[in-house]
A = this chain, B = another copy of it.
Amino acid sequence: MKKKPRFSPERDLALRLYRTMLEIRLAEQRIVTIYPSDKIQSPVHLSIGQEGISAGLCLALAPGDHLYGTYRGHGLYLARGADMGEMFAELYGKDSGCTRGKGGSMHLVAPHVGLMGCSAIVGSTIPVATGDALAAKTLKKKYVTAAVFGDGAVDEGVFFESVNFAVLKKLPVIYVCENNKYAIHSKVSDRHAQTVVAKFASGLGLRGITIDGDDVFGVYKTVLREAAALRRGGAPVLIEMTTHRWQEHVGPGSDIEEYYRHKGEKSRAQRSDPLSRAQSVLKKKFGVTKDDLVAMQAEITAKVDGAVAFAEAAPFPGPQRLAADTFASA
Contacts and interface: CB of A to CB of B under 8 A. Distances in A.
A120 to B, nearest CB: 19
Contacts of A142: none
Given A203-B202, A204-B200, A168 B193 contact: yes
Contacts of A200: 203-204
Contact of A202 (B157, B192, B202): B202
Nearest to A205: B194
Interface stretch (A82-90, A105-113, A158-166, A314-322): A158-166
Given A194-B204, A200-B204, 12 more contacts: A155-B161, A157-B157, A157-B158, A164-B192, A168-B191, A168-B192, A193-B205, A194-B203, A199-B203, A201-B203, A202-B202, A202-B203
Contacts of A191: 164, 168
Interface in A125-176: 155-161, 164, 167-168
A309 B204 CA distance: 49
Per assembly, the copies of the chain total 2
A4 to B, nearest CB: 41
Contacts of A160: 157, 159-160
Interface of A: 155-161, 164, 167-168, 191-194, 199-205
Contact of A192 (B158, B159, B192, B204): B204
Contact residues of A: prevailing secondary structure: helix
A27 B277 CA distance: 72
A107 B300 CA distance: 65
A161 B167 contact: no
Contacts of A192: 164, 167-168, 204-205
A156 B161 contact: yes
Given A202-B202, A203-B200, A203-B202, A167 B193 contact: yes
Contacts of A168: 191-193
A236 to B, nearest CB: 10
A156 B202 CA distance: 16
A158 to B, nearest CB: 6
Contacts of A203: 194, 199-204
